[in-house]
Amino acid sequence: MNQAASALDVKAFGKVAVLMGGTSAEREVSLMSGGGVLAALRSQGVDAHAFDPAERELAELRREGFARVFIALHGRHGEDGTVQGALELLGLPYTGSGVLASAIALDKVMTKRVWQAEGLPTPRWAWLDADHQRREDLRAVPDGLGLPLIVKPPREGSSIGVTKVLGYSQMQDAVALAAGYDADVLCEEFIEGAELTCPVLGEGAAARALPVVRIEAPDGNYDYEHKYFSDATGYRCPSGLPPEDEAEVQRLTLAAYRALGCRGWGRADLMQRRSDGRFFLLEMNTSPGMTGHSLVPMSARAAGLGYEALCLEILRMARLDSTRAGTAAPAASAAPPPGA
């Protein structure tokens, strides 16, 4: 047990479930994240256990006496407010953002609407619902956004279903791919430049941005393979940005995080346009990856926070929407709620 664990009474956490796996397209990544978190918590003396919602009903969490939940799920039915809502009903404190912030952040269209209302920079975009994906609709998108552009499903992560469209002839296939994951399709202006990410820990005025990570993927293609399985992707942390640019990325990240009502932890992805140095917010991840290739642990390490200490800190901040910020999360009773 290290110094971080000794500073906490890990026994006070009670029996902890690490939710991993699930039913989303990111199941494989979630299992890797959850496995890392589980091992880290156990190494610090936490009574932690794996729990896969794809194989077991969430009501079993109460029946089996779990007192707190670490959410290591990614994507739908894990990062979109649905699991958070179920845990609220069960009265089990959980890590990360609450129901509303989770639902908004996973939906990139809703996220952009909030950020635009707050005056935060995000690439120009077009939303194609199921009734506006005909050939004539698709041709109008590059006319408005220019080429190249990005086509993606708005409620998926890990670059799943994403296409960089170089010409009009690619639009139909790109939209069809994205629509295979989501009925709606998001088309986004392509920002040529450096890809950056910045994690956050905490809530409200107490939230703090961690060091920025600069991503250097082969040919600028930071896809699913290069995110989780390739050693060809380079990461710079410290980012190498001038101090004023690093500070600006952190400022934008905190503003984006607070605008969505996020809490606990998260990670913003951004681009810096090469032509003028401007920064643009792409998305907010409310249950970021915790794998061997993941960026939050990398950034935390640069700030002097090791993987085990990071997991403990995230777990410490677990709470319910109904629990006031700054108060301890209540211990859960082992008795199931009525009707569970």
DSSP 8-state assignment for residue 237:
S
Candidates 22, 24, 26, 182; catalytic one: 26
228 is catalytic: yes
269 is catalytic: yes
Candidates 30, 285, 287, 299; catalytic one: 285
Candidates 30, 289, 294, 299; catalytic one: 289
Q: Cα separation of 3 and 5, whole Å?
A: 5
The angle formed by the CA atoms of residues 108, 278 and 123, to the nearest 5 degrees, is: 25
2 is catalytic: no
List Cβ neighbours of 203 (8 Å cut-off, separation of 6 or more): 262, 263, 264, 317, 325
Q: Of 258, 284, 245, which Cα lies nearest the Cα of 202?
A: 258
Candidates 107, 182, 203, 283; catalytic one: 283
47 is catalytic: no
Q: Cα separation of 269 and 9, whole Å?
A: 34
316 is catalytic: no
Candidates 228, 307, 308, 313; catalytic one: 228
Structure tokens at 300: 């935390």
62 is catalytic: no
Q: Cα separation of 144 and 92, whole Å?
A: 47
Candidates 62, 76, 263, 267; catalytic one: 267
Q: What's the one-letter identity of residue 62? A: R
Candidates 30, 33, 158, 294; catalytic one: 158
221 is catalytic: no
283 is catalytic: yes
Candidates 269, 308, 313, 319; catalytic one: 269
Active site residue ranges:
26, 158, 228, 267, 269, 283, 285, 289
